[in-house]
Structure 1
């Protein structure tokens, strides 16, 4: 509200903003101002050295070796199975990735899915959601963000901080012990078993101030948890409504796995499953639009002239919003069936910048592989565990619930049959 904004869903413009003219654009101060009460300053809202340093530390959290450790996913899948009703009762399974995200980043899970989940854990899940919604509302209000009022927003932010501060304090204590042990012990042999890398422990061992640690891990949790939740819930939403795809996926899983749990290599070989996930990302990109601010006077390759095909001047300070959702549904880019969920299109489709579910360029999502593996693994295990996943109340057209990410507005109500 109150701003002149350039909106674009032109692939050449998106490529310019994110890659070829990356140095001409930044996240901008307004996003920091609108998100700082909950997130502080971290990789989600930072520019310059703060962003570069945070990204360098988080990248090892999502290496192939880390992502290929499917035991972490299986642990939380089992908790999901325990939490789901066993009598076919309809259930909304949209909220299920907070436990995994906190386990990966914090070295300990919030355990919201457990039947024995504490009231503190449940309140953390509520407070985190409330805080994210507040940030999204402020961003939309633009120049009027200062007038945003939600009596529960500040309380939610404080609860999130108190919850995470305890985890950070334990990490700082562990880091001191680690440094002390490192002084007293010789260098371990090359074949010694390595501990799992976590962003939290890396920050603590580097001696980062506790407040900055909290800011950075909350920034990453927003990206890791919300986007994965949106992708998985959208995938199950489509899966439950399309029994023909369930049949095709079950056949592929049965042929390739013969009843066993999948390995990392297995997931790459499940061709139709990969097409199904890609089509979910095309139709329902978790981040449907994003924005950058011009750092300098610059030019975008499309948008000028009487036909919009000439370059267009972008002055310093100009807000540019690129719309992934509508770009993914342009018929001139994807064909006349662009609005239809059809995984088979990926047998021949080889897109470039017209397909952008994980951003691109230097700020490409570092957790891209993690999200794809987590989603694929959960889908396989659901199809192995249940003979039918049936939609309940999902006959209405999809509608969005938009915060910083975009999820299924009506929820993902399904009945699961053993």
Structure 2
């Protein structure tokens, strides 16, 4: 009857992983308490869903869980909001932008240089934050990070709070 299915997938990511292991990269779930839902991790399906101008019905499923992190855009919304968000982001995915991976290569090299060579424990979150921020500035906004700037302007917690405040 699927009465245990909805609570499991809402609260436990490992339950969804187990379902993909059991049923494959794409499957349909039918329950008495919800409409049939298609789950997929197949790259070609994910690409189609996220890049086509269709009404997929992702908003009711994605928005409640992802709005805090992603806001209201192409990943969480359907219709006009999704189309508008895609139009804003489309230039970021130009071949010329994606063909030049030197920025990503440089940021990975910088990340690796900061790792201790003696095997001591290191906090990865600030290092990953800097790498993510610098590559995002380049790929999404076209801003090349200053090669000498390897310190984050704020902590990850401050960034997330500021990002959240900016959404509302």
Residues 60-84 of structure 1 deviation map (CA, whole Å, 9 limit, x = unaligned): 2121111122331233123213311
Please point out which of 64, 69, 74 is paired with 1:43.
74
Residues 51-200 of structure 1: pairs in structure 2 closer than 5 A = 51-89=82-120, 96=128, 97-99=131-133, 100-106=135-141, 107=143, 114=150, 116-118=151-153, 120-124=154-158, 127=160, 158-162=161-165, 165=166
The count of corresponding residues between Structure 1 and Structure 2 is 124
TM-score, normalised to structure 2, is 0.51
- The CA distance in 1 between the partners of 2:67 and 2:124, in whole Å, is 30
- The CA distance in 1 between the partners of 2:55 and 2:100, in whole Å, is 38
Structure 2: gaps spanning 5 or more residues: 1-5, 8-32
TM-score, normalised to structure 1, is 0.24
User: RMSD between aligned alpha carbons?
Assistant: 4.1
- The CA distance in 2 between the partners of 1:63 and 1:51, in whole Å, is 19
- The CA distance in 1 between the partners of 2:70 and 2:55, in whole Å, is 25
Residues 7-406 of structure 1: pairs in structure 2 closer than 5 A = 18=49, 25-29=56-60, 31-89=62-120, 96=128, 97-99=131-133, 100-106=135-141, 107=143, 114=150, 116-118=151-153, 120-124=154-158, 127=160, 158-162=161-165, 165=166
Query: CA, structure 1 residues 89+69, in 2 after alignment: closer, same or farther (shift >3 Å)?
Result: same
The structure showing larger relative contact order (alpha-carbon pairs under 8 Å, at least 6 residues apart) is 1
- The CA distance in 2 between the partners of 1:68 and 1:80, in whole Å, is 21
Based on CA coordinates, which of the two structures has the bigger radius of gyration? 1
- The CA distance in 2 between the partners of 1:69 and 1:24, in whole Å, is 33
Query: CA, structure 1 residues 103+54, in 2 after alignment: closer, same or farther (shift >3 Å)?
Result: same
Specify the alignment match of 1:142 in structure 2.
Answer: none
Secondary structure at 1:26 match in 2: coil
Q: Which structure shows the bigger proportion of residues in strand conformation? A: 1
Q: Which structure shows the bigger proportion of residues in helix conformation? A: 2
- The CA distance in 1 between the partners of 2:71 and 2:158, in whole Å, is 17
- The CA distance in 2 between the partners of 1:54 and 1:93, in whole Å, is 31
- The CA distance in 1 between the partners of 2:110 and 2:77, in whole Å, is 35
Query: CA, structure 1 residues 37+88, in 2 after alignment: closer, same or farther (shift >3 Å)?
Result: closer
Query: CA, structure 1 residues 34+89, in 2 after alignment: closer, same or farther (shift >3 Å)?
Result: closer
CA contact (8 A) 2:55 2:78 kept: no
- The CA distance in 2 between the partners of 1:43 and 1:35, in whole Å, is 11
- The CA distance in 1 between the partners of 2:107 and 2:55, in whole Å, is 42
Secondary structure at 1:74 match in 2: helix
Query: CA, structure 1 residues 84+42, in 2 after alignment: closer, same or farther (shift >3 Å)?
Result: same
Query: CA, structure 1 residues 121+75, in 2 after alignment: closer, same or farther (shift >3 Å)?
Result: farther
Residues 182-209 of structure 1 deviation map (CA, whole Å, 9 limit, x = unaligned): xxxxxxxxxxxxxxxxxxxxxxxxxxxx
Query: CA, structure 1 residues 59+23, in 2 after alignment: closer, same or farther (shift >3 Å)?
Result: closer
* Structure 1 outlier segments of 4+, above 6 Å: none
Query: CA, structure 1 residues 60+71, in 2 after alignment: closer, same or farther (shift >3 Å)?
Result: same
